[in-house]
Amino acid sequence: DGVSASYVALLDDESDLVGGIADMDANQQIPTPSVKALSGVEFLLIDSNAPSRVMIESASNAVKAGASVFFEPTSVPKAKQICENDSFIKNVSYAFPNEDELLAMSNTSVEGESTTDDLEHVKHAASNLLGRMRSDSFAHVVVTLGPRGVLLASKSGGPDSSVEHTVFPAEAISKVSSNGAGDTLCGAFIHALLNGADEKQAVRFGMKAAILSLQYEDGAISPYI
């Protein structure tokens, strides 16, 4: 019963998202999957539209069931709220924030915006976030940076784990709408992993898929993916 969740995106004259209007009350009814229900599941993708309690319990149950948890932050306020303590993020293996969401999740503050040649504060924030993610296994943060490309920050796990940063430059294109591009990259990344790709290959595949959504004018996600 009730009304389906709905969302209207507001874009500027450069097709970038500047705001949105949402009715997400229906998401309060999202149930928590049990450990038994998650048995045999390889990946569980969680976004911030579910209640915090459901997100925390679902991530915990997924790890108990042997699954890797993927996190799509959705927005800066929601990303910041769920990462205020480690109860959720400690069970996450993959996170897909944009730069603003990353800074909120890692509680990193900077002045101004980084450039293509200066991503040090983004790398620092990604490393901080990795330090709070799965400590008994690998973890990866995939940061979308708009026209500056994508940053992949990875750790192998264990007490002596170091962080590797890889920058993937963006292809110069004429975009129609940025709405849905991050979701497209995340979904394509997961698809690539399920088909045997490693994380770097999955980022490249996700970026190619995101271009299709960036150039699609009739909706958020291109049907040609």
Place of tokens 């996170």: 95
Considering the entire predicted model, what is its pTM?
Answer: 0.87
What's residue 111's pLDDT?
57
CA dihedral in degrees (172, 14, 206, 134; nearest 10)? 120
CA dihedral in degrees (89, 94, 99, 101; nearest 10)? -30
> From CA 155, how far away is CA 164, in angstroms rounded?
6
pLDDT tens profile 179-199: 678 899 999 999 999 999 999
Q: Are 102 and 126 in contact (CB under 8 A)?
A: yes
Q: 3-state class of 61 per DSSP? A: helix
pLDDT in tens, the chain (225 residues): 677 877 777 777 766 777 777 777 777 889 999 999 999 999 999 999 999 999 999 999 999 999 999 999 989 999 999 999 999 999 999 999 999 999 999 987 665 554 445 799 999 999 999 999 998 899 999 999 988 999 999 998 766 778 999 999 998 887 676 767 889 999 999 999 999 999 999 999 999 999 998 887 766 677 777
Element (H, E) at 123: helix 120-130
Tokens of 90: 């400690």
What's residue 116's pLDDT?
46
What's residue 55's pLDDT?
98
> From CA 155, how far away is CA 135, in angstroms rounded?
9
> From CA 55, how far away is CA 88, in angstroms rounded?
7
> From CA 51, how far away is CA 135, in angstroms rounded?
24
